[in-house]
Structure 1
Amino acid sequence: MSDLFDLGVSVADKTVRTIAVYVTIAVLLRIAGKRGIAQLNNFDFVVMLLMSNVVQNAIIGPDNSLVGGLVGVVILVAVNSVVVRLAATVPSVGRVFEGTPVVLARDGHFIPSALRRMGVRQADLNVMLQLRGAESVADTDLVRLEPGGSLLVRLRPEEEDAERGDLEDLCRRLDRIERKLDGLSSGPS
């Protein structure tokens, strides 16, 4: 029963350990790239799983108590909450932790140096483009990897799908044309 409640290390020790591991992992992920969870490949996924196991002891230290684990989780969530709020309200903090957008393609052409720098393969990007309505990169004006890992795809205007307003405008124009044609055909012969 004592293993449940007796902390193996002080709360201050646990706080320093947790914050140090959090900052280190955040910096490493920032350096490693911007891909979001949905864009992780198998290798990225394996690294994420192993990383969580590797840093476990660094966070909890020689403490195997329930309370120690819960304290570590509370500190981790609190630190993350502060960082996320700071990144959202202080632009410089957001740039440090999340980075800036990176243009991967412009005017229908990939930018190979940006793809290499971000570790994105053209084949993977082509799949993501097709999921967003492009047949290929040639159908795009801009493809940008956002700091959070999401992909912004701006299609060329002629490649964009028609929207409800476009269809309504087209129907109104066709109605006017039909009325004019009807007026011409019913007029004097």
Structure 2
Amino acid sequence: MSGPEIIPFDWQRIWLGDAPPLFMLEIVFRTAVIFIWLLFLLRLTGKRGLAQLSALELVIVIALGSAAGDPLFYPEVPLLHAMLALALVVGFQRVLARLVVRSEAVESFMEGQPVELVRGGVFNMAALERANLSREDLFEKLRAGGVMQLGEVRRAYFEQDGNLSVFCHDRDAPPGLPVVPPWDLEKPVVLNPDEPQQGRVVCLDCGRVEQVSGLLDACVCGGRDGWTVAVVDPLVGPAGI
């Protein structure tokens, strides 16, 4: 069974559809009602719900957008039904928010846990995989915080909200793996494993620094990228070789 014939560039259909022109005033009314109702409901979520976008808040945004969109211009969707759906979504958020505050298990399930990515200038490779971050992603975040080489970092944590918390040495940071300049622009020089080296070198895979005198052995992390010179200031030059 075929539907009604569609006439291309039918301006009446394109701009107004099948609804009478007066229905545009009803859309104004519907939009105002839903907008005011949403403002009231979002006010109930509290400042914490509006300050960050956790997994719970993301679900709320998607659910509210879906429930609020249809009644704005679909005449067959009653306003009270949409308002009830919006109220239930916000009510579920309030209940879950209270459970997150009162139960550490629920908080860990809903928002995850912080992950330690760097300790003493060395990557935690397994933690990077769990956080779904590449080495380049971490470098970018460290550079945004003013870190030039990995030896500056005492601890780095990937927080529940997706931010990176970095704790650096106040002064006299040990040498480490350079993160400046970005490796896409200038990758550190890989040392020749067949040539004797003297001084401090750093693994290009995990950031481990070792003092060497002679040929280079494989790093304990099992990385394949090799070694480069450990630096204190990548923009000045090597430290000790």
TM-score (norm 2): 0.39
Structure 1 or 2: more helix by fraction? 1
Structure 1 or 2: more strand by fraction? 2
